[in-house]
Structure 1
Amino acid sequence: MATQLTTDAGQPALDWQDRRLPLADTADLRAALVEANVQTLLMVYVHLTHDEAMLATFQNYIKPPFAMPGTDIPEEYQQELREKLRHVLTTPGAAREDAPSKALMQRMMSVSVGEPVEDEFLPLLMDQIGFERSTPRREIAGRKPAPAGFKVLVIGAGLTGLAASIKLEEAGYEQVVIEKNPEIGGTWYENRYPGVGVDTPSHFYSYSFEITPEWTTYHPVGADMQKYLLHVTEKYDLRRHIRFETTVVSLAYDDEAAMWDVTVRGVDGTEEVLRVNAVINAHGPVNRWKWPNIPGFDTFRGVRMHTATWDPAVDLRGKRVAVIGTGASGAQLVPAIAGEVKDLTVFMRSCHWVIYNPEIAHEVPPGMKFALRHIPHFREWFRFRVYWFAADGLFANVLKDPEWPVDSPSVSALNEGMRQYALAHLDAKFADRPDLLEKLTPDFPIFSKRIILDNGWFDALKRDNVTLESGGIAEITETGIRMEDGTTYEVDVIVCATGFDVANMLGKLEVHGIGGRSLRDEWGHDDPRSYMGVTVPGYPNYFLTVGPNSAPNHAAGQNLISEVQVNYIIECLDWANASDKRAVEPRRDAFEAWNTQIDTRMQDMIWTHPKANSYYNNSKGRIFLSWPYRLVDYWNEMRGPKKDHFELH
């Protein structure tokens, strides 16, 4: 069934190019100018007029988050801005048709966020915020067309796999996308538990080439993400490339033909071998969910569920429910169900740092939606503002200060400041519950593992029908959970919010490269290594996404990583094609040098603090997941391959 994003009134959402001037001087417009973000309105006004005097008027009043002291923008300045912008928006010929210069754009960006936006960030920002739209590759003058019959197989139709399909189409490559589920979406199709949502702000967590204003909250709920991805699938007609309910079983490289033989299995168990030129593995790290390893787990006679395989038919009302796990999924689930269950016992192995973000549950008001839908450039400038405060500005928090005491529960003065900010929220919430305060106070640095955004999590733990249990579980019985101290909890339902087997990046997939070599043998269960998170020597034209040491664990930005990795992969294929070669493979020495650089760099990062332990580490403690530099650095690295680091076949 076709899915299209719509406005609250059920009308089709406007595409970016549909915003035209002049606008009608309506009550909706006037209301939007009052309700919409002032800093973004300022950017729109200057974008349309190039009036730098207004920047000078506002620049002393706009501060970044956590800046001290804060200064409110005077109301008379805000009113003057609204009136001037209303005139420009509604008066024929009042807006300039030429775009601001790069120098003016940079000044605008700096004023908008209250701190300097340096030159090095501009190419990324112009690309990711949507101000510059790249020409589809097949339309680039002088580019050699993709070879006829050259086929790329994409594993997975989630956020990354769909991006790969769109860009492969734009580049003219034949493709097939293999999806194990009956529908697209990946994580956002599978995860349907109550309260499921996204840490990344809504107005950035989307493709830069498909920005939408149709978010219901400032942080997207899972259903909104799935609706967005369905919209993208229909708009770009991607279903014609996708084979649903099909699993990739194995990949085997044919050295002589420079082809991959891909064994796929249908839902009926029938297997087939597809012969393709290249493979993009976009199956993602968060679909291999895992049950807890607890004695007696299989003996429980009640209902067992994992958050990643939630059964909406299970009625929790009036039930005694156990939730095992207090990471991001558990912290979202518990507030969503605490009010309807009889008793809720939450089993915590280790606590997490929690940050209060008052916007996380806020609905996007009508005025903001109107501005995002109808006012030219508002969408892009708001996306810039959201991105800036959720991205590389946070990087300093994960960088160790070499002069900072190694036994401190923080790694720098800035990191300690964020720790105190989180502690203040914790202390305020549990001033009357010292028992919970003690259980929930972490002893490791903030940002050394995934942060939880408080969307009712702390309040839920204080409810009379909720118990937080931090002791060890001895076993699961037929009727409940017995603790190591002998305490027994009788429950009707056990929900496991126990995460995913992230380190096993192959999952059940078998990959055999040149000479039959096995990637599973080389990686083992949980020690994956690659070159730049995308390629591996010995496996020509086999490309990873969200591969080893490419995850943006200091900030929001998985959508950015997905886009830039897809860009890099197609640049590699285009280079091989332009060179009349069939395949591209990283050199062994480049791979080894890169991994040595990564391991050395990790000693400067928060994730190697003595008390840091998370799913970013493998069983030996190596940080296999995190990208130890900034997002802008990865964006730059992904512009195209360093040709002396590769061999062409």
Structure 2
Amino acid sequence: MTISAQDVDRFVPAGELIPLLCSVAELTGDRTLLADEFRPRLELEMIAIPEHGGLSAEVAEEAFERVRNALKRHPASGDIGGQTDLSAEEIIDFLTNGAGDYAGLMKRELGEPVQVTWTKDEVAPERDFVVGIVGAGQSGLAMARELRRLGIDYVLFEAADKVGGTWRWNTYPGCRLDTSTLAYSYSFFQRRDWRHYFAVREEIEDYYIEFAEHEQLLESIQFNSEVTRASWNEGDARWELDVRDTRSGEVSGVLVQALISAVGFVNQPKIPDFKGLDQYRGEKIHSAEWHSGVEYRGKRVNLIGTGASAYQIAPNIVDEVESLTIFQRSAPWMLPAPLYEAEVSPGRQWLMENIPSYYRWLRLWEFWHSTIGKYALTMADPNWSFTESVSEPNQRFRDALVSNIRGQYDGHEDLLGAVIPKYPVGVKRMLRDNGQWARTLQQPHTVLVTEAIESFDEEGIRTVSGDHHRADLTVFATGFHGTNYLGTIDVRGRGGLSLREHWGDESRAYKGVTVPGFPNLFCVAGPNTGLVAIGSQTFMCECGINYITECLRHLFVTGATAIEPTRDAYRDYVKWIEEGNRGMAWAAVPEQSWYRNASGTNTVVWPYPLLTYYELTRSVDEDEVVMTYPASQKASA
């Protein structure tokens, strides 16, 4: 393929400068593109990502000119591989401006091929060992792919009839990512032909179907299969599973040596116990249970909630309903994102198609600035005395977001008291803002209700002041039982110990993965691995998978039948997580959110930098695990 000078001049200015410098340097070997004056200038307290990586307009223009000239001198594009002596490490050093601690993490995120260093056939060829995975969403599919690479037998149970997880179940209007599409995709299965900057649900579901087909995973998935019970058999060192066929209701037993939960924490819809709800005669639906038969066009609609789902649903139905009444407990904080609903520009498409590794460096760049993210802006200062923020940087963050909100309500200032949150930025999940929420609230047939709901009756909702809001359809965008992790499965560990009873309302896991008393039970995207101000959930998933495979390797190499964390390691880890969370906005003030359980404990969010979790999940610390051996071997811990 040959690219013309005219196309270079036309499309290069549409690119992100730092990824352009990296990808064209890799393509051409031109080290002048990585000159020190072009290194990005990102700050820890970034309210917004600076244009051109923080370079001045003059320096940025010089950099763009060098990119254009380099491409014109090297018009032939093709696969990268041994064409230059410019290493990925050298380019990563440029992109991160010398953040050497992150070099290994960033190379992995770039999508450099990771060679398999061991397989089961090499370390335990005679051992019968089957792994059960629950859930064929993002985490379960990635886990299955890694087990297949290592030659470990597995079976993946999925309650639905196809893969996709949350992107299979949630079909409500407007459902899409609220993180960058590129950064959300797997590091090891990147693609360049995404249609949107923030992918719509259908795109993501198709991506997982394509991934499952590409990795030959479908043949090992049991669809329409819901795991309802898992019991650890001490004598045989295996998990006994009850698996229900979701079509026939028939239950069958399955035996596996290890069990991996990939169910996530947004799979149990939550509807508050409203008084009189059973009397309501209109249609009612939770956002996660939306289906094609839901009738909203021309209807009076009550929408309960102003979180992520409501924020997507409301703008996508407001122009087709007779009336829309939104019930708000607290206003959401929103990060400006003008391209939130936009399709990828022709310029970006051209760069993706014609500069071989541009999409990889663009993904890495987006991942890098999300790694820095808003972490410093959401750290709590124990000496800060104001209630609307948790530190001076957090107050500046608040001021910037408030200014953006005010600019969207010109002529509708009466709404400002309701749409500006009273709590600090970072306490709850932050949404993406392209102005559509403000447009929705300003429609003449939209009503924003901030009073508490008193009760339902046959026709609608009555608030505590006595106001009545009739509706033909009520939509519950009321979230999930996020702290009830693994709540759909009756899990029994050593001695019949119930995981539900062990956890109570406080689900925890060592490194977000393992629990004492539950041998060979592993969680992907487990407790306290959720992210608020930094990073990508995909990254946390991939890290957890690495730790699980290290645990399995340890089992095979040592000949042990089971592995679990020591109780001391588990307690110390939980204490460390709590200490970290207390220093962040989301736990520093007593504001209710889905991150907290009934007693106010945060069991969802990861409170430290991404690098910390990456390093934690690289290997097994033998001092912090208990190994169980066959009777013929001496037990040790």
Q: How does 1:177-576 map to 2 (within 5 A)?
A: 177-267=156-246, 268-405=248-385, 407-455=386-434, 456-524=436-504, 526-576=505-555
1:584-611 CA-to-partner distances (Å, cap 9, x unmatched) read 1111111111112222233222222224
Letter in 2 for 1:72: A
3-state DSSP of counterpart to 1:294: coil
Cα contact 1:155–1:248 (8 A) shared by 2: yes
Change (3 A) 1:55 1:458: same
1:164-187 CA-to-partner distances (Å, cap 9, x unmatched) read 110110011111111111111110
Does residue 108 of structure 2 align to residue 124 of structure 1? no
Cα contact 2:263–2:486 (8 A) shared by 1: no
Does residue 81 of structure 2 align to residue 81 of structure 1? no
The corresponding residue for 1:5 is none
Q: Distance in 2 between matches of 1:444 and 1:107?
A: 38
Deviation at 1:245, TM superposition (A): 0.9
Q: Distance in 2 between matches of 1:490 and 1:338?
A: 16
Cα contact 1:62–1:71 (8 A) shared by 2: no
Q: Distance in 2 between matches of 1:275 and 1:282?
A: 18
Deviation at 1:408, TM superposition (A): 3.5
Change (3 A) 1:547 1:427: same
Q: Distance in 2 between matches of 1:192 and 1:37?
A: 32
Identity of aligned residues (%): 32
Letter in 2 for 1:497: A
Deviation at 1:356, TM superposition (A): 1.3
1:505-529 CA-to-partner distances (Å, cap 9, x unmatched) read 12231111111111111111x2112
Q: Distance in 1 between matches of 2:523 and 2:425?
A: 30
Letter in 2 for 1:294: F
**TM-score calculated relative to the size of structure 1:** 0.90
Change (3 A) 1:143 1:645: farther
3-state DSSP of counterpart to 2:402: helix
Change (3 A) 1:318 1:166: same
Matched length: 619
Deviation at 1:634, TM superposition (A): 0.5
Q: Distance in 1 between matches of 2:482 and 2:542?
A: 21
Deviation at 1:30, TM superposition (A): 6.1
Q: Distance in 2 between matches of 1:598 and 1:62?
A: 31
Larger mean CA deviation between 146-155 and 555-564 belongs to 146-155
Cα contact 2:144–2:154 (8 A) shared by 1: yes
Larger mean CA deviation between 32-41 and 364-373 belongs to 32-41
Q: Distance in 2 between matches of 1:67 and 1:245?
A: 47
Q: Distance in 1 between matches of 2:50 and 2:354?
A: 32
The corresponding residue for 2:631 is none
Deviation at 1:442, TM superposition (A): 1.3
1:72 pairs with one of 57, 66, 69: 57
1:491-550 CA-to-partner distances (Å, cap 9, x unmatched) read 1111110100111112231111111111111111x2112211100001110001222212
Cα contact 1:30–1:86 (8 A) shared by 2: no
Q: Distance in 1 between matches of 2:469 and 2:102?
A: 54
Deviation at 1:633, TM superposition (A): 0.9
3-state DSSP of counterpart to 1:443: coil
Cα contact 2:231–2:496 (8 A) shared by 1: yes
Cα contact 1:573–1:583 (8 A) shared by 2: no
The corresponding residue for 1:109 is 95
Q: Distance in 1 between matches of 2:36 and 2:571?
A: 53
Letter in 2 for 1:626: V
Deviation at 1:99, TM superposition (A): 4.5
Change (3 A) 1:174 1:412: same
3-state DSSP of counterpart to 2:253: strand
Q: Distance in 2 between matches of 1:96 and 1:540?
A: 46
Deviation at 1:102, TM superposition (A): 6.0
Cα contact 1:50–1:100 (8 A) shared by 2: yes
Cα contact 2:322–2:445 (8 A) shared by 1: yes
3-state DSSP of counterpart to 2:375: helix
Q: Distance in 1 between matches of 2:621 and 2:140?
A: 24
2:17 pairs with one of 32, 35, 38: 38
Deviation at 1:92, TM superposition (A): 9.9
Deviation at 1:87, TM superposition (A): 2.4
Q: Distance in 2 between matches of 1:145 and 1:23?
A: 50
Deviation at 1:104, TM superposition (A): 2.6
Deviation at 1:63, TM superposition (A): 6.0
Deviation at 1:382, TM superposition (A): 0.3
Q: Distance in 2 between matches of 1:555 and 1:63?
A: 14
Larger mean CA deviation between 432-441 and 169-178 belongs to 432-441
1:401-460 CA-to-partner distances (Å, cap 9, x unmatched) read 23433x332222222221111101111112422321001111211011100111411211
Deviation at 1:572, TM superposition (A): 0.3
3-state DSSP of counterpart to 2:184: coil
Structure 1 unmatched runs, 5+: 1-21, 111-115
Q: Distance in 1 between matches of 2:90 and 2:538?
A: 27
3-state DSSP of counterpart to 1:626: coil
Q: Distance in 1 between matches of 2:561 and 2:527?
A: 25
3-state DSSP of counterpart to 1:108: helix
1:321-363 CA-to-partner distances (Å, cap 9, x unmatched) read 1111100100111001111111100011111111211121221
Q: Distance in 2 between matches of 1:347 and 1:325?
A: 6
Deviation at 1:289, TM superposition (A): 0.6
**TM-score calculated relative to the size of structure 2:** 0.92
Cα contact 1:399–1:606 (8 A) shared by 2: yes
Q: Distance in 2 between matches of 1:248 and 1:95?
A: 45
Deviation at 1:143, TM superposition (A): 4.8
Structure 2 unmatched runs, 5+: 629-637
Q: Distance in 2 between matches of 1:607 and 1:269?
A: 42
The corresponding residue for 1:8 is none
Deviation at 1:285, TM superposition (A): 0.7
1:196-240 CA-to-partner distances (Å, cap 9, x unmatched) read 111110111111110011211111111111111111011112111
Change (3 A) 1:437 1:147: farther
3-state DSSP of counterpart to 1:230: helix
The corresponding residue for 1:631 is 610
Letter in 2 for 1:97: Q
Change (3 A) 1:644 1:146: farther
Letter in 1 for 2:516: P
Deviation at 1:91, TM superposition (A): 8.0
Letter in 2 for 1:480: G
Change (3 A) 1:534 1:560: same
Letter in 2 for 1:257: D
3-state DSSP of counterpart to 1:601: helix
3-state DSSP of counterpart to 1:284: coil
Q: Distance in 1 between matches of 2:498 and 2:215?
A: 36
Deviation at 1:49, TM superposition (A): 3.8
Larger mean CA deviation between 433-442 and 61-70 belongs to 61-70
